[in-house]
Structure 1
Amino acid sequence: MARIIDGSALARSLDAQTAAEAAELKSRHGIVPGLAVILVGNDPASEVYVARKIKGCARVGITSFEHRLPHDCSEAEVLALIAALNGDRAIHGILVQVPLPPQIDPARVLGAIDPAKDVDGFHPVNVGRLSTGTGGLVPCTPLGVMKLLDTVVDDYRGLNAVVIGKSNIVGKPIAMLLLEREATVTVTHIETRGLPEIARQADIVIAAAGSPRLVRGFWIREGAIVIDVGITRVPGQDGRKDRLVGDAAIDEMAHAAAVTPVPGGVGPMTIACLLSNTVTASRGAMP
């Protein structure tokens, strides 16, 4: 049977490390890491995600600052708030929860965040530093994926990795992180031809397409590693509750070396890496 990579357990371990680092910053330098979260409107999924992030902050010793704006607020109001937070020395990380209402341009909003406080790793400066291997804050989900892979991969050099999905948030950053480890990387997308055959050549498959059970068992060669980034809520049948489904049909992948579950795989690591990034950013305030 394939090994199940327990993202929840790894997230708890990373949280413990983050809490220890936050405590040391406070005791040695008087710095309490601070994370500002901006939520525009009341999207139900966003409400849940923000609540989890705020709870995570309390768990590891980060002070959270929640800023809620109405759904009909202007882009100028959001930009003004970000400008104020950029200048606030108690704030070391700024996170704008997406999606945003249609009157607000996400690119303008994310680009307004001080790159040193961009704990999501989405600012063009951090994207550029990632692509050139010169540091910066790394996007949380790709960073979490690499930490999960590190539990089962000792040496990436020459391994064949296939990334399914080319989003700026997940697919492209993961590809760059794998390239930094000297894996050979193929990035696929909706126009890719012969995807099952491409996936069957891979030592590592990263499924990040947002398409439930897209990646089937016969796509995966024996001994490959499958990291499932996708998560979709599908209606339950016969009165059952809705359930979360990943991009990979891991029930068909007993022949794989290791797989991540949904839920309990990449998801917990995303929040754990956000908290870790916030503490990393707070070190910039050290004298």
Structure 2
Amino acid sequence: MSARIIDGKAFAAGVRARVAEHVARLKEQGIVPGLAVVLVGEDPASQVYVRNKGLQTVEAGMNSFEHKLPAETSEADLLALIAQLNADPAVHGILVQLPLPAHLNADLVINAISPVKDVDGFHISNVGLLGTGQKAMVPCTPLGCLMLLRDTLGSLSGLNAVVVGRSNIVGKPMAQLLLGDSCTVTIAHSRTKDLPEVCRRADIVVAAVGRPQMVKGDWIKPGATVIDVGINRIPAPEKGEGKMRLVGDVDFASAVEVAGAITPVPGGVGPMTIACLLANTLTACCRANHLPEPEGLTA
């Protein structure tokens, strides 16, 4: 029996709709959430991401402020822009698109953003707040995964969860969020001994290791829920010479026959990232104005 397919695209559309409804109510009070996105250089993938973020920000009724800087922008100039955005009351969220050109220190730049406007959740203060169970801005992709898990399973309390991947962007914050929902959490990675057996004990597997189709179907406990964060391009000769296709970190064809529920790639976790960016911007705006936070859109 095949697993239930978790439709991240549809769920993300629902999140964006809830954000838009809340924004409309804020506008009645004369408050408009604002998101500033900073892009340094001309990385093609980053340009697509920034364009999509801008479009969806406007569609949700928010103000979108885009700052596109040349690749040779100095660290001092970038930090000066961030300071300006930190001080701007119309800006509630600030996102600096990664990766940055090699001459810029990404950690320095991220930590220059005001923690209350850090809608990516990467600032060291937000990392510490999340790790100690306090109110924080939460990284968008793990927040999206948590929303999908809650919607699929209801309460996560007491479940065994394995996070495959230990990145600061997904793996580590994902583990903290699962702990916050009272899961028993194992952080595994490419060097974990007997990784397949570790995964087989899990009620929840979150794959965020960055290796195409690494997690096989026989690694999955029957009935487990699988969240595939990976987005990898691999050759697709069946589509023609030089063509590529998107796959996750999970071998979907084999895992779907074992799991109870699973996210596809594309159409699973991916759409949740921008939806949660909008949710985080709304949350930051509500906090800045000492208003109740939107229900169901935070960790």
TM-score if structure 2 supplies the norm length? 0.94
Matched, 1:49 2:67: no
C-alpha contact (below 8 Å) 2:188/2:195 kept by paired residues:
yes
SS in 2 for 1:152: helix
SS in 2 for 1:243: strand
C-alpha contact (below 8 Å) 2:150/2:156 kept by paired residues:
no
Matched, 1:261 2:281: no
SS in 2 for 1:101: coil
Deviation at 1:59, TM superposition (A): 1.2
- Equivalent-residue separation in structure 2 for 1:229 and 1:76 (angstroms): 34
Deviation at 1:62, TM superposition (A): 1.0
- Equivalent-residue separation in structure 1 for 2:285 and 2:184 (angstroms): 34
Deviation at 1:240, TM superposition (A): 6.6
Which residue of the partner structure matches residue 226 of structure 2? Answer: 226
- Equivalent-residue separation in structure 2 for 1:213 and 1:284 (angstroms): 40
Q: 2:277 aligns with which of 270, 274, 277?
A: 274
- Equivalent-residue separation in structure 2 for 1:206 and 1:141 (angstroms): 11
- Equivalent-residue separation in structure 2 for 1:152 and 1:86 (angstroms): 37
Cα RMSD for the two superposed structures: 1.0
Unaligned 5+ residue runs, structure 2?
291-299
Question: Which structure 2 residues correspond to residues 110-259 of structure 1 after superposition, within 5 A?
Answer: 110-237=110-237, 238-239=240-241, 241-253=243-255, 254-259=257-262
Deviation at 1:285, TM superposition (A): 3.5
- Equivalent-residue separation in structure 1 for 2:42 and 2:278 (angstroms): 23
- Equivalent-residue separation in structure 2 for 1:188 and 1:75 (angstroms): 35
Unaligned 5+ residue runs, structure 1?
none
- Equivalent-residue separation in structure 2 for 1:36 and 1:88 (angstroms): 10
- Equivalent-residue separation in structure 2 for 1:255 and 1:235 (angstroms): 26
Q: How many residues align?
A: 286
C-alpha contact (below 8 Å) 2:228/2:264 kept by paired residues:
yes
- Equivalent-residue separation in structure 2 for 1:200 and 1:234 (angstroms): 26
Q: Residues 23-71 of structure 1, C-alpha deviation per residue, up to 9 Å, x if partnerless?
A: 111102x111110000000001101111110111011011111101111
Where does structure 1 differ by over 6 angstroms across 4 or more consecutive aligned residues? Answer: none
C-alpha contact (below 8 Å) 1:223/1:257 kept by paired residues:
yes
